[in-house]
Amino acid sequence: MTVELRDVTLRDGLQLVGKAPSTARKVEIARELLALGVPSLEIGSMARGDLVPTLADTLHIVDALTPEELARCWVWVATPGHVRRARERGVVNFQYCLSVSDAHNRANLGRSTEQSLDTVADGVAAANGGRVQLTLATSFTCPFEGPVDPGEVVRIANDPRTAGTEDVVVCDTLGQARPGEVASLVARVRDETPPRRIGFHGHDTWGQGVANAVAAVGAGAAFVDGTLGGLGGCPFAPGASGNTASEDLAFGLRPEFATPDAFRALVRLGEDLTAELGENNSSRAAQGARSRAAAFGWVL
């Protein structure tokens, strides 16, 4: 089972924290993660700074990174204008996000899902040769509408307006999905929609984060998202807690970079960051790494 881990601490992980690291510290975290071998990162969002103030410095982070570093970094976007502004600053990887449920799309983006779909082609064109992922929030449940019909996810992924997107990411925005549901939906996207890499973005609200990621990979997902210490949540999704911890995913799924030394460094980085922010570290693997089972090569 081969899988990539994308660390999304610097976007999704910082959306709900009480205070944000400085721009310089964010750049430092990005470089530490890249140096550990984490293949890709999410480094920020083009959402309005007054709505998500902890991410208002995204373009300053972009300016500080080299083209080689930016080649491994993703930025959240939701409009062609977002794409154009980010592309002008050197961003080459874009997560074009919309919600499967109309109510969440209106709460998050101020428009209907269909209106968002109408903009995707212009967003792909604005990327000007960059890579665009189709990121589908509330693929399983919606905080306003309840369970989401899997057929709607398949319909959107098949919509001709999404042509040109290279990947499709199904998101358990509230962390309410179960492994069987995740495996079923990923398999349907794999079998019933155009060939693209599939990603899974999960939250650990109900304790199923790692199990859901394993199920997604078993059904064909090529990458999964996580955050240091399980930081995160969505300001427009009541009831959503933190993401699945990158440390837990690294330990459980063993992506290529996750040697014991890299895992230990990841644990320390997560502990340092959550302490700096005064936030809870919910990683179970980080707790395990602090055990006294010295004969086990993954402990600190």
**Residue ranges per structural domain of the chain:** 4-259
Pick among 3.90.1200.10, 3.40.1260.10, 3.30.10.20, 3.20.20.70: CATH of 4-259 = 3.20.20.70
pLDDT in tens, 219-252: 999 999 999 999 987 666 666 668 999 999 999 9
CB 136 within 8 A of CB 153: yes
DSSP at 244: P
Q: Which H or E run contains 167?
A: strand 167-172
pLDDT in tens, 171-185: 999 999 999 999 999
Residue 29 pLDDT: 98
Q: Which H or E run contains 146?
A: strand 146-147
Which entry of 73, 142, 171, 234 is annotated as an active-site residue? 234
Residue 219 pLDDT: 98
pLDDT along the chain (300 residues), means of 10: 92 91 98 98 94 95 98 98 98 98 94 98 98 98 96 98 97 97 98 98 96 98 98 70 93 97 98 95 96 90
CB 33 within 8 A of CB 247: no
Q: 171 catalytic, yes or no? A: no
